[in-house]
Amino acid sequence: EAQVTQNPRYLITVTGKKLTVTCSQNMNHEYMSWYRQDPGLGLRQIYYSMNVEVTDKGDVPEGYKVSRKEKRNFPLILESPSPNQTSLYFCASSLSLAGNQETQYFGPGTRLLVL
Amino acid sequence: ILNVEQSPQSLHVQEGDSTNFTCSFPSSNFYALHWYRWETAKSPEALFVMTLNGDEKKKGRISATLNTKEGYSYLYIKGSQPEDSATYLCAFSGGYQKVTFGIGTKLQVIP
């Protein structure tokens, strides 16, 4: 089954404790992206990747890192989480290098609470 | 950060009514306009991708139009059903591979 998976689905952590949210897709998609969803603000793009070893900042990259060592995986790293990073996070992927032309497939979401 | 606006923010309609909502976006550097349907506790799912001025797309009772010159897109739902209740998101792609979402229109269809 074609899908985007994220882990964990739910996470409670404390300020400053490094964490990684994994994202994996099995569709051989080139474009992958991370978003955060906050009430009243909509989905905001954190980072995106056009291919292996090619990543770039979205609109809200501060406090996050990403890597794209393999085509299928695009982990989101919070080196020192803070309470303002409490949010619902979505990973998404699309087939084309021109991700802005292609439909994105979303993972199930990761709900993060930083105390 | 680009400005992508959706209106109304929420909408209640009776079952069987037809409805429409608006997405407005920058008219310059246009690449594509996407519509997604997002049900509570699920992930956004794609409805349409539109790339050309004048594009019209249709899927069942849902259709969309695009005007890139004036920077707006309409989503229409004909004969709304309770299962149409969801948040409808539009997303603008303006180059540099970035995607900017609107806040969404939350539709509630009352049986």
- Considering only CB atoms, B46 lies closest to which of A35, A103, A109, namely A103
Report chain B residues whose CB lies below 8 A from the CB of A9.
Answer: none
Residues 22-41 of A with CB under 8 A from B: 31, 33, 35, 40-41
- What residues does B70 pair with on adjacent strands? none
Closest CA to A104 of A74, B38, A23, A95: A95
Predicted confidence band of residue A97 (pLDDT cuts 50, 70, 90): low
Amino acid at B84: D
Residue A96, pLDDT score? 75
Chains A–B, number of C-beta pairs less than 8 Å apart:
64
Q: How far apart are CA B52 and CA B6, in angstroms?
A: 20
Residue A98, pLDDT above cutoff 80: no
Q: Check if the beta carbon of residue B44 is closer than 8 Å to that of residue A106.
A: yes
Instruction: Give the CA angle between residues A21, B38, B76 to the nearest 5°.
Output: 150
Of A41, A58, A100, the CB nearest to B93: A100
Distance between CA atoms of residues B73 and A93, nearest Å: 24
Determine the residue of chain A that is closest to B43 in CA distance: A108
A94 within 8 A of A113, measured Cβ to Cβ? no
pLDDT tens-digit series, residues A39-93: 888 899 999 998 899 999 999 999 999 999 999 999 999 999 999 999 999 999 9
Separation between Cα atoms, residue B28 and residue B7, nearest integer Å: 21
pLDDT band at B1; cut points 50, 70, 90: low
pLDDT digits (tens, 9 = 90+) for B34-46: 999 999 889 999 9
- Per CB-CB distance under 8 Å, the chain B contacts of A41 are 103
Banded model confidence at residue B86, pLDDT cuts 50, 70, 90 = very high
Residue count of chain B: 111
* Pairing state between β B72-77 and B19-24: antiparallel
* B87 HSE (CA, 13 A, CB side): 20
Answer yes or no: are the C-beta atoms of A51 and A68 closer than 8 Å: yes
Residues of chain B contacting residue A106, judged by C-beta atoms under 8 Å apart? 43-45
Whether the CB of A61 is below 8 Å from some CB of chain B: the reply is: no
The pLDDT of residue A100 is: 53
Residue A43 with chain B: CB contacts under 8 Å:
44, 89, 91, 101
pLDDT band of B96, cuts 50, 70, 90: low
Interchain proximity B103–A99, CB inside 8 Å: no
Cα(A9)–Cα(A82) distance, integer angstroms: 19
B93 vs A: CB within 8 A: yes
pLDDT digits (tens, 9 = 90+) for A2-41: 899 999 999 999 999 999 999 999 999 999 999 999 988 8
What average pLDDT does range B5-31 have in this prediction? 93
pLDDT at A57 (0 to 100): 93
